[in-house]
Amino acid sequence: MTSSIYVALSAQMALQRRMETVANNVANLNTAGFRAEEVRFETVLSKMGSREVSYADSGESYISRRAGSVAPTGNPLDVAVSGDAWLSVSTPDGVAYTRDGRLQMTEAGDLVSVDGKPILDAGGAPIALDPNGGPVHIGADGSIVQGTIQVGALGLFNLPDTTRLQRYGETAVMSSEAALPVEDLAAQGVRQGFLEGANVDPVMEMTKLITISRTFDSAASAIREGEDVLAQAIRSLGPSS
């Protein structure tokens, strides 16, 4: 099999990986706080005799941190995080971070995420509200007040630019480096009664899907042509009966 066929196959493998990430992004267009996944494409050089041949690598995926659009909901337990901050949640695998602000209060008063995980304060402790304490007011700095009493505060954290994020569930991430509590709560806080949507651009993602599909077909054509050339060479150069 010629190197051109291997190159085309490596391209198809990389494109399949890209197709999977784009399809997942599109599927989560309406998921609050969802962060799109992107892929960095690279090439791998290999020696084929005296020539260098470039193969397509499947690429390294990463989670985009760009902000999504914010819309009002009117729900007092919905919050949209401003700036680069993240909320923290307790999971069986450790602390995870999320921009999904669909908070809920259990019958016992525990403040939890939409999937039931405890929301943490700046010290890493679960937040408990008073089920009979009246309406909940969440300030821009994350402070939580019921009536005239502050019952807790949302923990807001910054994730280092150098950290590697790993998706955890639909909207949370795990950080490879320690998160830092937000210090400037005037620039990075929360907005009560709002939600941040997914940071997925539907037009851009659909354009990517079309481009990937066409490129995949082109690679398939290149493989068929390479196989035809190889078969013809075998017929021409092979021993005659």
E strand intervals along 17-142: 37-40, 43-48, 51-56, 60-63, 70-72, 79-81, 86-91, 94-98, 104-105, 111-112, 136-138
Residues in Cβ contact with 214 at an 8 Å cutoff, skipping those fewer than 6 apart: none
The pair of structure tokens assigned to 95 is 């602390």
Share above pLDDT 90 across residues of the chain, in percent, rounded to a whole number:
59
pLDDT bin (cut points 50, 70, 90) of residue 53 is very low
φ, ψ at 206 (rounded to 5°) = -65, -35
Choice between 21 and 233, residue whose per-residue pLDDT is larger: 21
Q: Which of 87, 12, 89, 98 is nearest to 55 (CA)?
A: 12
Residues 6 or more apart whose CB falls under 8 angstroms from that of 71 comprise 194, 195, 197
- Lowest-confidence range among 37-46, 124-133, 146-155, 187-196? 37-46
Distances 27 to 12, 102, 172, 174 between C-alpha atoms, Å: 22, 19, 16, 21
User: Scanning the structure block, which residue is given the tokens 């997914």?
Assistant: 198
Give domain limits for the chain: 3-64+216-237, 70-196
In this prediction, residue 191 carries a pLDDT of 96
pLDDT in tens, 93-123: 999 999 999 999 999 999 999 999 999 999 9
